[in-house]
Amino acid sequence: MIISLADADLAQDRSQARSMVISRSGIVAAEHPLAAQVGASILAEGGNAVDAAVATNAMMGLVAPMSNGIGGDLFAIVYDAKAGTLYGLNASGWAPSALSIGYLRDKGITTMPYRGIHSVTVPGAVDGWAALLKRFGRLTFSRVLAPAIRFAEEGFPVTELVSRLWSAHEQILHGDPTIARTFLPGGRAPAVGEVFRNPDLAWSLKEIAKQGRDAFYSGKIAQRIIECSNRHGGTLSVQDLAEFSSEWIEPISTTYRGWTVYELPPNGQGIAALIMLNIMENFPLSQYGHNSAAALHVMIEAKKLAYADLLQFVADQRFSNVPVAGLLNKAYARDRAARIDPTKANCSVGPGNPPHSGDDTIYLSVVDKDGNMVSLIQSNYENFGSGLLPEGTGFVLQNRGALFTLDPDHLNALAGRKRPLHTIIPAFMSKDDLRIAFGIMGGWNQSQAHAQFVSNIVDHGMNIQAALEAARFRKTTFEGCDLQIEARVPLSVRTELTGRGHQLEVRGDYSPVMGGGQAVMRKFSTGMNYGASDPRKDGAAIPEPAR
């Protein structure tokens, strides 16, 4: 068949920068191409989606150490294709049992520390890996960790965005000689294309490969974590590590114009994405047009309403009665939607009264040839977490405890063995024979980015690659009318938003502050898999190679 020049021109006349990856075999989408390649190789060697996800995550902890690693937490949604069932995993760690509001106040600390030893909570990632592999995996710890161990010993070339993040946080790394020795070889951050090695992390991963999760929570790694805590005046105990366990949980969901969208329940912020979608459903966004001023205004105002509830109500449900069902109630959403003025931005939004009933993160998604899917997110919270590194381990301890409050009357008040409000969230959506595992990292950006991604697909008919690439907005504050927006949103639209009272900060065309997303999709009627990777990150969607 001969294709005319006119047809060829038409085929290239589109707004998305890349095509989806399409394969009858598995696909791994991750924020670093080497990590995605590692996961795809695990699929080719007989592993399933869970095996590949753990291998990919281990590799991401090596190649993007500021963003994630075994010193952080993990959440995952697993789709078991044979059973047609979704499973949620909360592998977020708790505060030390001896850490309390009174303990900090006695030391003259009146606000929750942002970095340092008192911001450290028990890392949940390794226990999360163990739980995933035990329930769903085909391969052993030693097999799935082998690629990351090899790259840690032999080295890997540092990519563009990772190099920028590394150099931007040199000051934190210079703050402690232990962390500096690991992450500032030669006294500076690695440059783009420079090979970085982390033999200490290889040691830690080898210990886990030999002994499983016990190596981390009661073995040699645990000893080094406790030594680090003691050296810096922390309260972390042997029991805090040894007695920790991740938790299998039921995903929460809402419907959005015929699709079902799933998130994990509090202590994560995913419920805010569902609240946003419930509010947005009361407006004809498809008629308004994609990224029109009317559509963006509705989504921005829905974000403010949803996040006001997030800040007020989301906490560890083992300690607090979080009104999950009330927050997801459609009638409650209609009441909140009625508070949106279509002509004017609201700069001071408070929480509602739901009915009661009983920056710095990585995300990856995997689908295997059988249709099993994993949506996984993992983080240190802020870049390089607490700024502390247990001697000889090659990883930093997270600062997730910074998200507690020292207000004793708040649902998210600090308490021993309590999990803080969490920003990292995996997601999933389904309709008929389609299943999509997706996520977009970036602190408080995540729920609002999830809602925009879902709207791009449902309201505007985009494929998963176009939906990830589309220009986004971000508001990370909880008060005011400030808003960050990408320059690809037309000037006329930005002018109209300014006229409605939004105070815009225009970012670049593909601004990393908007977060980076990954997605995989399965169409079960054809057995075809699709993958997408956000150009705001260094990553890629890599298909499983032939065996």
Task: Report strand pairing: 21-23 vs 528-533.
Answer: antiparallel
The DSSP line for 221-233 is HHHHHHHHHHHTT
Which residue of the set 182, 235, 361, 423 is catalytic?
A: 361
Could you give the angle at which helices 445-458 and 293-313 cross, rounded to 10 degrees?
140
Q: Say how far apart CA 51 and CA 117 lie, in whole Å.
A: 33
Beta bridge partners, 503, equal 482
Q: Say how far apart CA 164 and CA 484 lie, in whole Å.
A: 21
Active site residue 423: no
Q: Say how far apart CA 417 and CA 121 lie, in whole Å.
A: 9
- The helix/strand count (H/E) of the chain reads as 21, 19
Half-sphere exposure of 463 (CA within 13 A, CB side): 19
Closest CA to 123 of 251, 225, 223, 231: 225
Q: Which residues lie below 8 Å from residue 477, measured CB to CB, with a gap of 6+?
A: none
Rounded to the nearest 10°, the torsion over CA 135, 29, 173, 196 is: 100
Q: Which letter, b or e, does each residue of 211-237 get, where b requires 16 or more Cβ atoms within 10 Å of its Cβ?
A: ebbbbbbbbebbebbbebbeebebbbb
State the catalytic residues. 361
